[in-house]
Amino acid sequence: MKFQQYVTRTVKTAIFLLVVMVSCLVLQQYVLRNTDHNSLRVEGYYQEPLDSLDVVFIGASDIYTSFMPGRAYEQHGFTSYLLASESITSEGVKTAVKEIVRTQHPGLIVIEANAFLYGDADNETNEAHVHKFFDNLPFSFNKLEYVEKNVPVDQRWEYLFPLIKYHGLWTEYPERFHMMASNLSLDMRGYNYLKGFRTTAEIYKGKTPSLNAKLADEKGELDLNPKLQQQLMDLLDYCKEQKLHVLFVRAPHYVTEETYDRVKRSNKMASIVREYGYSYYACENEAVKIGIDDKRDFYNIDHMNVYGALKFTDYLAEKIIKEEELKIDPLRTGLLSDWDEVVTSTNQLYRYCDDLMTKGDVKGAQEDVLTLVSLGNYSGETIQR
């Protein structure tokens, strides 16, 4: 009898602990979590089938607002994903490259330069920006390596179990319900409709004139921040060691006198990257050549709207095909319909944003349930330029 009671208590305890563990995982995944477009984008990457991507893009908002994977697939035939996060750090870029090596084997990795072009290294320790990327990475040696190397001991558990940091988010409901629903919808669907693309429906009307017209002739260089330059060189050494096909790119911006130093730092970064034998596309310097219209194609000084993104996507995708000689792997039959939906959603999003901007409405457009429901009102036919 005593033995039976012991077994019963043990089973009940085990069931109780299991229920607690599952409840914590559910809370952390769907309720007490800082879900936003960054988390939906990063999580969506890990739902991509193994070896199904021809190209993976890494970077900050400079790339996830500039390149449209659905457009690239429709017009140029290659699959891609934006493993990008708002104001990602240089350490985040390095970790993202390592995660791609661990999880996918694309023909090309494209890295947007922004993380290495700051005048100081303050972004590296910006806790909000660090969390936006690393909170959403699954457990792996790469994540643990970053946490052990860069996070103070008393904060490490927050990165391994974000529930610890965000347990107070319950006070923000019901406002957060639509993002919780977006996360659940993504998990049930199993893939990201926009492959990480995000934009804002707005046309920037800058009072300060753009200097983009003079950038094609700008050859001046400005030294990178020493810490960021070392991070860049460490990344380049890793890419060499792993024999990766990597391309660095600088997306177009609405450049002013205030932001002009970044152009010169970009030129310096291009020199370093090319010394290592890698390509660097200074598309910021080629904005006029691309056809970017300063009065129409940006939603703020750092980001293009869908008008600019469409032009940039066509331009960069063509260079990737021709100059990088990208080898496109045949898409598995079971994924063809998924990518057809990606194309449709991307074209719908363009028309949705075009409609909003025509009306003068300002609204973010991303992989959330509110945006996706709105897209059903628009045509998914090819956008003609």
Residue 249 has a pLDDT of 98
Beta strands in 289-329, from DSSP E residues, in sequence order: 298-300, 303-304
Tallying the residues shown for the chain, one arrives at: 385
Is the pTM higher than 0.85? The answer reads yes
Beta pairing, strands 108-112 & 55-59: parallel
Residue 9, domain member (yes or no): no
Residue 3, domain member (yes or no): no
Half-sphere exposure (CA, 13 Å, Cβ side) for 307?
19
Segment 321-326 shows an average pLDDT of 96
- Is the predicted pLDDT of residue 23 greater than 60, yes or no? no
Residue 50, domain member (yes or no): yes
Query: Which residue did the predictor score with more confidence, 92 or 186?
Result: 92
Q: With contact defined as beta carbons under 8 Å apart, do 35 and 166 qualify?
A: no
Residue 20, domain member (yes or no): no
In this prediction, residue 139 has a pLDDT band, given cuts at 50, 70 and 90, of confident
Q: How many separate domains does the chain show?
A: 1
Burial class from Cβ neighbours inside 10 Å (0-12, 13-18, 19+) for residue 292 reads: buried
- Is the predicted pLDDT of residue 22 greater than 80, yes or no? no
Residue 228 has a pLDDT of 98
Give one DSSP letter per residue of 335-382, joined into a string.
HHHHHHHHHHHHHHHHHHHHHHHHHT--EEE-SSHHHHHHHTTS--SP
Q: Residue 231 sits in a domain of what CATH number?
A: 3.40.50.1110
Lowest mean pLDDT among 100-104, 183-187, 359-363: 183-187
Q: Give the other-Cβ count within 10 Å of 197's Cβ.
A: 31
In this prediction, residue 333 has a pLDDT band, given cuts at 50, 70 and 90, of confident
Residue 16 has a pLDDT of 54
Segment 291-312 shows an average pLDDT of 97
In this prediction, residue 193 has a pLDDT band, given cuts at 50, 70 and 90, of very high
Domain region containing 230: 32-137+167-375
Cα 136 to chain centroid distance, Å, stands at 12
- Is the predicted pLDDT of residue 27 greater than 90, yes or no? no
